């Protein structure tokens, strides 16, 4: 196993990775931006180095600086966490060029899955169902209109390199398409340096269900079941759970097999997630592959007993998987909520100075937290400041545990989405497992009126 | 005189109007950026931009006046 690794990330996920390093006796190296100097992960790591700067391109996206620190600190591997550089093929390439191990899949596979158009084609070739849509990028508005006519409105307009809902819009007719095409292409160009757009059929009221896969260097590949992540706002997940209350055992098996087949077909190594949309008839369609650890990985850990960061480190180190598919079982039910520093009604960001933090304690409550009592929550990064995970034998009890946890969760000084999370958890439709991706629009907004 | 206020804390990413420009209800005046999100600030009245209280790159808190219209 590695002796020393660098974590090219911040906040709760840096703390999460450091915890597994400590458990395994691996030295951890943190890197941090100016506003993060006071963050818990900086002091938790065995060594920490300043990156300088406030904005991500000056700090956490500064590949030269991160590599310089990695060499100076003498690390053997780099864990990218999620977001930031985690799906950047260039970063992975440059790490490997200097003889350091990138904890993740090969740069080629990352680049392939990073392009939505290419990912879609790859998955289709591997026999995974994909959403009907354009087989390649559409050059301009006229081509987009033609394609939309063939697919049938409503269609989803998407940026090939997009993420987090940026460059993505549902359109219902030609006029709307023309407007949306220009503006989303421009935005995608600005954010991702790539304004390439494509079109897909809009699946009505879908569930978002994803499969966790693990693959070792020899190509042995397993899946660790699914996560249901349908509760979203602005196309970002808010509540996740495992197993899904919606899919049948038969669908679970089909999706798991499709994910393993897909991972094998592309030569995937390490932990990855294949996201699907599932319609009311339990038909599933490939959405995208995330070539990294997911924010919501704890729910999978809670129902399988795996430490996914440990597995990532083992695989990167060249160790073989320890289990075969038929040896794996799920136990109980786990729910995760993302605590965002934002207005619970408008979902607008709400950075600011925290004045208190008291976390509810209990055997079935797990916390992943990136802040302390008096953290200054800066406007420069993602609004997620913490995650809370509860586990129980049944889904009903896991929900009860989460309601207890959230009612006893104290954050003062800034606004958070905790009131909104409680509205979700207490809603009858959620309790019934009726959690398609329009849940927040269709239930909560309606009640707010 | 109408005060236009920021509806979230963040930095001023882009100002899309000029002082002296006539604006109408619903028109964007500037775009704030915070936590990886861009939120346009629009006027809810017709008027002329009398004064822009912020510059691109400035940090504003929720409720701060960003522009004055008349």
Please report, in tens digits, the pLDDT of each residue of chain B (70 residues total): 899 999 888 999 889 899 999 999 988 899 898 887 888 899 999 999 999 999 998 999 999 999 999 9
- Contact of A155 with A148, CB cutoff 8 Å: yes
For residue A447, pLDDT over 60 is answered with: no
Side by side, the strands of the sheet bearing A77-79 are A47-50, A27-32, A4-7, A77-79, A101-102
- Does residue A189 sit within a domain? yes
Q: Are residues A269 and A225 in the same domain?
A: yes
Q: Which two tokens stand for residue A386?
A: 């913490």
Q: Which two tokens stand for residue A229?
A: 């992540």
Q: Are residues A334 and A399 in the same domain?
A: yes
How far is it, in rounded angstroms, from Cα A55 to Cα A41? 18
- H or E stretch at B23: strand B22-23
For residue A163, pLDDT over 70 is answered with: no
Q: Are residues A183 and A230 in the same domain?
A: no
Q: Are residues A376 and A444 in the same domain?
A: yes
Q: Are residues A384 and A250 in the same domain?
A: yes
The pLDDT tens digits of the residues spanning A332-361 come to: 999 999 999 999 998 999 999 999 999 999
- Does residue A108 sit within a domain? no
Q: Are residues A318 and A173 in the same domain?
A: no
Among the listed residues A252, A292, A314, A338, the single catalytic one is A292
The count of structural domains within chain A is 3
User: Residue A23 CA to chain centroid, in angstroms?
Assistant: 24
- Does residue A394 sit within a domain? yes
Cβ <8 Å between B36 and A381: yes
Residue A314's Cβ-count burial label (10 Å; 0-12, 13-18, 19+) is buried
How far is it, in rounded angstroms, from Cα A338 to Cα A355? 20
**Final residue of a structural domain among A182, A201, A220:** A201
The pLDDT of residue A160 is 83
The CATH number of residue A148's host domain is 3.30.1490.20
Which residues fall within 8 angstroms of residue A151, CB to CB, at 6 or more apart? A132, A133, A134, A199, A200, A201
Name every chain A residue with its beta carbon within 8 A of the beta carbon of B39: 348-349
The pLDDT of residue A104 is 97
Q: Which two tokens stand for residue A343?
A: 């207005």
pLDDT level of residue A187 (50, 70, 90 thresholds): confident
Q: Are residues A295 and A376 in the same domain?
A: yes
Name every chain A residue with its beta carbon within 8 A of the beta carbon of B35: 341-342, 349, 351, 379-383
pLDDT level of residue A120 (50, 70, 90 thresholds): confident
Q: Are residues A258 and A356 in the same domain?
A: yes
The pLDDT tens digits of the residues spanning A315-330 come to: 999 999 999 999 999 9
SS3 content of chain A, % helix, strand, coil (to 5): 35, 25, 40
Task: Pick the residue from chain A with its C-alpha nearest to B63.
Answer: A350
How far is it, in rounded angstroms, from Cα A303 to Cα A331? 5
- Does residue A382 sit within a domain? yes
Q: Are residues A287 and A252 in the same domain?
A: yes
Which residue among A234, A346, A351 places its CB closest to the CB of B34? A351
Across residues A4-18, what is the average pLDDT? 98
Structural domain containing residue A95? 4-103
Mean pLDDT score across all residues of chain A = 94
Side by side, the strands of the sheet bearing B28-34 are B37-42, B28-34, B10-15, B59-60
**Phi, psi torsion values for A390, nearest 5 degrees:** -120, 150
The pLDDT tens digits of the residues spanning A242-290 come to: 999 999 999 999 999 999 999 999 999 999 999 999 998 999 999 999 9
Which residues fall within 8 angstroms of residue A85, CB to CB, at 6 or more apart? A8, A60, A61, A63, A66, A91
- Contact of B9 with B62, CB cutoff 8 Å: yes
Helix (H, G, I), strand (E, B) or coil at A385: strand
Q: Are residues A176 and A237 in the same domain?
A: no
The CATH number of residue A39's host domain is 3.40.50.20
Helix (H, G, I), strand (E, B) or coil at A356: strand
Cβ <8 Å between A346 and B59: no
Taking any CB pair shorter than 8 Å as contact, residues of chain B touching chain A are 7-11, 33-37, 39, 59, 62
For residue A394, pLDDT over 50 is answered with: yes
The pLDDT of residue A445 is 66
How far is it, in rounded angstroms, from Cα A91 to Cα A68? 13
Taking Cα atoms as reference points, which of A134, A58, A66 lies closest to residue A98?
A66
| Whether ipTM exceeds 0.90 | no
pLDDT level of residue A42 (50, 70, 90 thresholds): very high
**Final residue of a structural domain among A85, A103, A121:** A103
How far is it, in rounded angstroms, from Cα A446 to Cα A78? 46
pLDDT level of residue A449 (50, 70, 90 thresholds): very low
Helix (H, G, I), strand (E, B) or coil at B12: strand
Helix (H, G, I), strand (E, B) or coil at A8: coil
Residue appearing with tokens 């990886």? B36
The CATH number of residue A329's host domain is 3.30.470.20
- Does residue A118 sit within a domain? no
- Does residue A112 sit within a domain? no
Domains of chain B listed by start with CATH number: 2-69 (2.40.50.100)
- Local structure of residue A203 (DSSP, 8 states): P
Q: Are residues A311 and A288 in the same domain?
A: yes
- Does residue A17 sit within a domain? yes
Give me the residues paired with residue A259 across strands: none
SS3 content of chain B, % helix, strand, coil (to 5): 0, 55, 45
Name every chain A residue with its beta carbon within 8 A of the beta carbon of B59: 379
How far is it, in rounded angstroms, from Cα A215 to Cα A222? 6
- Does residue A279 sit within a domain? yes
Q: What is the DSSP string of A109-121?
A: HHHHHHSHHHHHH
The pLDDT of residue A57 is 87
Cβ <8 Å between B35 and A383: yes
**Final residue of a structural domain among A201, A229, A259:** A201
The pLDDT tens digits of the residues spanning A196-213 come to: 999 989 998 899 999 999
Taking Cα atoms as reference points, which of B15, B24, B23, B19 lies closest to residue B50?
B19
Cβ <8 Å between A382 and B8: no
How far is it, in rounded angstroms, from Cα A314 to Cα A214? 11
Residue appearing with tokens 């509760």? A231
Q: Are residues A56 and A146 in the same domain?
A: no
- Local structure of residue A349 (DSSP, 8 states): B
């Amino acid at each position: 196993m590695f002796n020393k690794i660098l974590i090219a990330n911040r906040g709760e996920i840096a703390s999460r990775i450091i915890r597994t390093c400590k458990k395994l006796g691996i030295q951890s190296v943190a890197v941090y931006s100016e506003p993060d100097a006071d963050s818990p992960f900086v002091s938790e790591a065995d060594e920490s180095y300043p990156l300088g700067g406030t904005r991500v391109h000056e700090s956490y996206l500064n590949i030269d600086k991160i590599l310089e620190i990695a060499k100076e600190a003498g690390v053997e591997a780099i864990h990218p966490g999620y977001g930031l550089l985690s799906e950047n093929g260039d970063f992975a390439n440059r790490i490997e060029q200097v003889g350091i191990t990138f904890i993740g899949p090969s740069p080629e596979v990352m680049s392939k899955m990073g392009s939505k158009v290419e990912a879609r084609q790859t998955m289709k070739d591997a026999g995974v169902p994909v959403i009907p849509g354009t087989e390649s990028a559409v050059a301009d508005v006229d081509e987009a209109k033609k394609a939309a006519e063939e697919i049938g409105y409503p269609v989803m307009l998407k940026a090939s390199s997009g993420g987090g809902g940026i460059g993505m819009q549902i359109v219902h007719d030609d006029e709307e398409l023309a407007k949306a095409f220009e503006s989303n292409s421009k935005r995608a160009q600005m954010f991702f340096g790539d304004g390439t757009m494509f079109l897909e059929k809009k699946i009505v009221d879908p569930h978002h269900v994803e499969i966790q896969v693990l693959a070792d260097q020899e190509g042995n590949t397993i899946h660790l079941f699914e996560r249901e992540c349908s509760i979203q706002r602005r196309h970002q997940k808010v509540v996740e759970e495992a197993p899904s209350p919606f899919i049948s055992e038969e669908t679970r098996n089909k999706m798991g097999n499709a994910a393993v087949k897909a991972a094998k077909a592309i030569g995937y190594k390490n932990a990855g997630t294949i996201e699907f949309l599932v319609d009311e008839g339990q038909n599933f369609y490939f959405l995208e592959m995330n070539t990294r650890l997911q924010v919501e990985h704890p729910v999978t850990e809670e129902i399988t007993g795996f430490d996914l960061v440990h597995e990532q480190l083992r695989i990167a180190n060249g160790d073989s998987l320890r289990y075969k598919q038929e040896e794996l079982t799920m136990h109980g039910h786990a729910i995760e909520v993302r605590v965002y520093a934002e207005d619970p009604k408008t979902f607008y960001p709400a950075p600011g100075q925290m004045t208190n933090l008291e976390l509810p304690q209990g055997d079935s409550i797990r916390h992943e937290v990136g802040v302390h009592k008096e953290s200054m929550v800066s406007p420069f990064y993602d609004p997620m400041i913490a995650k809370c995970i509860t586990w129980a034998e049944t889904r009903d009890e896991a929900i009860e545990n989460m309601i207890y946890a959230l009612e006893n969760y104290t954050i003062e000084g800034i606004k958070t989405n905790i009131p909104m999370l409680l509205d979700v958890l207490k809603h009858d439709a959620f309790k019934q497992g009726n959690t398609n991706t329009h849940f927040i629009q269709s239930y909560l907004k309606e009640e707010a009126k | 005189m109408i005060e236009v206020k920021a509806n979230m804390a963040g930095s001023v990413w882009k100002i899309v109007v000029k002082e002296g420009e006539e604006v109408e209800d619903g028109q964007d005046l500037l775009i704030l950026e915070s936590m990886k999100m861009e939120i346009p600030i629009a006027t809810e009245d017709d008027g002329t931009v009398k004064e822009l209280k912020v510059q691109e790159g400035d940090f504003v808190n929720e409720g701060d006046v960003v522009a004055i219209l008349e």
